[in-house]
Amino acid sequence: MTPRLAVGEVYRHEGEKLDLLWSAGLAQNTVHVVDFASSLYCAAKWACSQPSQKAILQAHSEVLTPTSTLARNITLPAQSASLANKAVEAAVFSAVDDGETTQLDIARVTEAVISFAKLNLADVTSDVNEKHLESWNQMLQASDPPVQPGMPVSPVMPADLLGPEAISFDNTALKRLTGWTPKHSLTVEIAQEMVDGFAKEGHWPALRKGKVKK
């Protein structure tokens, strides 16, 4: 979410309107960092409770299949015949929240936190390393108080997060075998807490009207 919020801040500053490019219902699973950390603990604790590696593999036999019904969904094994034919050597769990987050959910949360019209999560791919990063750097320099270079927040997003393919996984096995339960889902309050936290740490630009020179 952090890069998306940063991109939203850039577009709000630029006064530009963006529309959703892909389906509003495109799955974009999310997980809160606290829940992700707890999933690691629960998975490790469960693995340590098993008598052997063989027992771990026998207990976890589910195929990793995305939960979305979108036509463009593909499973990981289907992408590579060589991977599909390999024997399973480790238990793999999917740590996602129960919110079934979609592209529209992300757009609405970003809109509510950043306060601008609409967000297109895919149209930024081609110029994110040019226009958006340039504008972001200008905003950092003009921030009051100033934001130091090298801060951890950036509007750069990997292209594979912005394409039409769904990002959707099933957390059933993780919950059933380890007892893990996600306690958070994507909300405006959580996203606002992220932005406020970055601002408090001096990692988010605070601009006065007319401060940035083009």
**Which pLDDT tens digit goes with each residue over 89-137?**
778 899 999 999 998 898 889 888 887 555 554 454 555 556 678 888 8
H or E element in which residue 178 lies: helix 172-178
Region class of 179: left (phi > 0), else alpha (psi between -120 and 50), else beta: left
Give me 201's structure tokens: 């740490």
The CA–CA distances, whole Å, from 158 to 122, 125, 132, 137 equal 10, 8, 14, 19
Task: Output the pLDDT for position 76.
Answer: 44
Task: Give φ, ψ of 186 to 5 degrees.
Answer: -70, 120
Low-confidence ranges of the chain (pLDDT < 50): 64, 66-81, 121-122, 124, 213-214
Task: Output the pLDDT for position 108.
Answer: 86
Task: Output the pLDDT for position 79.
Answer: 47
Task: Give φ, ψ of 150 to 5 degrees.
Answer: 85, 10
Amino acid letter, 179: G
Region class of 35: left (phi > 0), else alpha (psi between -120 and 50), else beta: alpha
Unique residue bearing structure tokens 């003009």: 142
Amino acid letter, 118: K
